[in-house]
Amino acid sequence: MSEKKITISYLKKKMAEGRKITMMTAYDYPTATLIDQAGIDTILVGDSLGMVVLGYDSTVPVTMEEMLHHSKAVCRGAGHCFVIGDMPFMSYQVSVEKAVENAGRFIKEAGCEGIKLEGGSEMAHVVRAISDAGIPVCAHIGLTPQSATKLSGFKVQGKDAEGARKLVDSAKDLEAAGAFMIVLECIPGQVASMITDELNIPTIGIGAGRYCDGQVLVYHDLVGLFERFTPKMVKQYINLAPRIREALVQYREEVEKGIFPGREHSFLIKPEEADRLK
């Protein structure tokens, strides 16, 4: 574990030494603190926020203000982790100027170290402009949830040779445009492995097999706090939701029965002060 703030050169060194890079999503201060204490390298304030925290049906409605609000909280707890803010839908597609301006807000207002945006070769000019403005850009290809409708649903990408070739070309274009890292989501392991071999920047997989330079998961999936569905690529390391529900039911019952609060949770005035009250 690094004691100091993680830097891009540290991540590249890890990659060069064949040590895996770790990334986890977070959306609030206490989770960021736990992730930092666990020695994880990078935190992604993902726009998955919309689904796992804000209760939207997709990531599409997430706004810049929501992302900044949660990114600020994460940055306050992140400690040594390198924090990447995820640019929400329509915050970087409308114009290059708007994209650079919004990317800058993640750095200036929220305190993030970098930003992430979705899209392949068609987004390379935006990556170039943001990177030229001095902002580290993490690219994201494969299943890009913001364009799930265009992709005809949440489907594995690059399953045929043509689709796979497109992904490899996109990854190369994004690296050439200045991306310092790239997320590969829901693509066959062989394709992720090919991309990882071809690039000099770290690849971070989610549903992309074991040959990426690092891995990312959505925190709420990993700890069992998102019960609407569990994607195949998720490994749930702990199932917190039933345990939290149990504790809440116990609390309700104890309040209803007058068991909580007990003496140990109560404040009393001294007996002589109680006498003076009579």
User: Does 123 engage in binding with ligand KIV (CB under 6 A)?
Assistant: no
* CB 277 to ligand KIV: min, Å: 56
User: Does 206 engage in binding with ligand KIV (CB under 6 A)?
Assistant: yes
Nearer to ligand KIV by Cβ, of 46 and 224: the residue is 46
From 45-53, 64-72, 105-113, 190-198, give the range in contact with ligand KIV by CB under 6 A: 45-53
Say how many C-beta atoms besides its own lie within 10 A of residue 162's C-beta: 8
User: Does 183 engage in binding with ligand KIV (CB under 6 A)?
Assistant: yes
Determine the size of the site formed for ligand KIV (CB under 6 A): 12
User: Does 47 engage in binding with ligand KIV (CB under 6 A)?
Assistant: yes
Of the CA atoms within 13 Å of residue 223, those in its CB half-sphere come to: 14
Say if CB 198 and CB 212 are below 8 A apart: no
> Tokens in use for 240?
């917190």
In the annotation, is 273 catalytic? no
- Among 48, 71, 102, 215, contact with ligand KIV (rule: CB under 6 A): 48
Burial group, residue 31, by CB count within 10 angstroms (0-12, 13-18, 19+):
buried
User: Does 26 engage in binding with ligand KIV (CB under 6 A)?
Assistant: no
- Among 124, 216, 225, 233, contact with ligand KIV (rule: CB under 6 A): 216
User: Does 119 engage in binding with ligand KIV (CB under 6 A)?
Assistant: no
Nearer to ligand KIV by Cβ, of 216 and 225: the residue is 216
From 13-21, 31-39, 44-52, 226-234, give the range in contact with ligand KIV by CB under 6 A: 44-52
Nearer to ligand KIV by Cβ, of 130 and 183: the residue is 183
Binders of ligand KIV in range 73-102 (CB under 6 A): 86
From 46-54, 128-136, 188-196, 257-265, give the range in contact with ligand KIV by CB under 6 A: 46-54
**241 to each of 221, 245, 247, how far by Cα in Å?**
11, 6, 10
Enumerate residues 6+ apart whose C-beta is below 8 A from 102: 64, 87, 91, 92
User: Does 218 engage in binding with ligand KIV (CB under 6 A)?
Assistant: yes
Nearest to 60 by CA among 186, 149, 156, 152: 149
User: Does 46 engage in binding with ligand KIV (CB under 6 A)?
Assistant: yes
Binders of ligand KIV in range 226-265 (CB under 6 A): none
Instruction: List interacting residues with ligand KIV (CB under 6 A).
Output: 25, 44, 46-48, 86, 140, 183, 185, 206, 216, 218
Q: Report the catalytic residues.
A: 185
